[in-house]
Structures are given as C-alpha cells and as structure tokens.
Amino acid sequence: MPHRHHHASENVSASVSARTWWIASLFSLGSLCFALGPLPPVAVWLGDRNDSLVFVFGAICFTSAASLSFLQVVGEGQGSAVAGSGPAVRRWWQPESSDWWADGIQLIGTLAFNVTTVMAMAVGWSARQENVRVWAPDMIGSVCFLLSSAVALSAAAAAGRQFRATDTAWWIAVLNLAGSAAFGVAAVAALVLPASGGLAAPRMDNLGTSIGGFFFLVASLLLVTEAKEAGT
C-alpha cells in the first residue's frame, strides 16, 4: 500500500528515487501475490502448502516495502536535515506528520499480515484457535491498512489538493483506500464459525483479497509514474 511523500531536503533526491523504485517494486510483488494467490486455478495448480507460501512471501514483500517507506519518512521528515550540513538525522517521533502516521500504521499492519500468513499454514486447530491466531491478526492488519489509507487521503484533502482525473497522487490514495476496504471485507469473511469449522464466507474472503491485491498493484505501479512527475 504505497504512499507518496513530500521530502524536506534536495540533497537526498537521488536516493529517494532509488528507494521509491524499491518501495514500488516490493509493494507490486506483494500485491501480485495477494491478487493471484486466492484464485482457484492458482490454488489448485500450486497446492495448499505452496499457495500458502505465496501469501507468506507477499506479506514479507509488504513489510519490506513498508519498512523502507517508514525509514524514508523518519529520515527525511521536515526539519530532519539542514541543507549542506551533512547526512540527514532520523526523526523517529513525528506526531505532527501525516506521512509518519500513515506509514507507521501501515508498517504495523504488514507485521500483522506476516503473523496471519505464517499461522495460516498450520493445521489441526480448533475454530477458536484459528480465530485467535489467524483471523485476529488478519483483522488487525486490515484495520491498520484502512486507517493508514484514510490518514493519507485526509492529508491530501487537508492540503487543499482538489481531485483531478490526471492527478496520479489522488489515484494512488483512492486505490489504496479501495484495496484496504476490500482486504477488510475479506478479513470479516474469513472468521471461522465454531459450528461448522469453516469460514463465514470463503468466496468473499478470496474475492476481497484478490481485488484488494489488484488495487494495491495498480497503486504501486502508479507510484513510479507519480514520482517521475514530481521529479523525485
């Protein structure tokens, strides 16, 4: 779930470009895993265990990208460096920064997805164990993604940016929110029902995850375009 950042120092523009490429690439790869993993033909072709590994790998890509994105914020936050004074000093506490909140919450969400994708590989659990170890972190991750997307979109609106069909940054924010909403629907549908031991709505779980991954994939690809337009 990539976000567009505003950078305080021109001295770091070259490295920002490289990091932006890595962030977009890792988010794209992770998004592709979540978009394709739930599709029945893919699941049948790979088998249950290998298909589960696709989600594990996708979550790792998300966390790697989110970590780079958060480090970009703390390393280039407003006032983190003075032009010509040497390397930027990381500012880990920036409660005044919407980027810091959006990326920090997003990172927490990706870590929750790491937990749920790894735990989902286990078998033989009761419905309660599944809900605590798999569904709960999935829900936490989805809520974090929703909050992060809402913060990013609200920040763009608060800055006075009006929506334009040609504004790539707006499309990234909207696609992120749509993807987060789809992940949220999937998480709710993935609740394990004690009576049957099955998911509440397995088709909705797969559909929401796949659609969310597709939205995130498009947003990730647009991030490179937006960065080029902004000259970063």
pLDDT one-digit tens code per residue, 220-229: 999 887 766 6
At residue 1 the predicted structure's pLDDT band, cuts being 50, 70 and 90, is low
Helices 168-189 and 136-158, axial angle in degrees (round to 10): 160
Q: Return the DSSP state at 201.
A: -
CA distance 44 to 13: 45
Q: Where are the domains of the chain?
A: 11-79+94-230
Please state the pTM of the whole predicted model. Answer: 0.86
Segment 33-49 mean pLDDT: 97
The answer to which of 24-28, 77-81, 182-186 has the lowest mean pLDDT is: 77-81
- Residue 228: CB atoms within 10 A of its CB come to 12
Q: Return the DSSP state at 199.
A: B
Cβ 73 vs Cβ 91: under 8 Å: no
pLDDT at 9: 41
The predicted-structure confidence for 197-217, as pLDDT tens digits, reads as follows 999 999 999 999 999 999 999
pLDDT at 79: 44
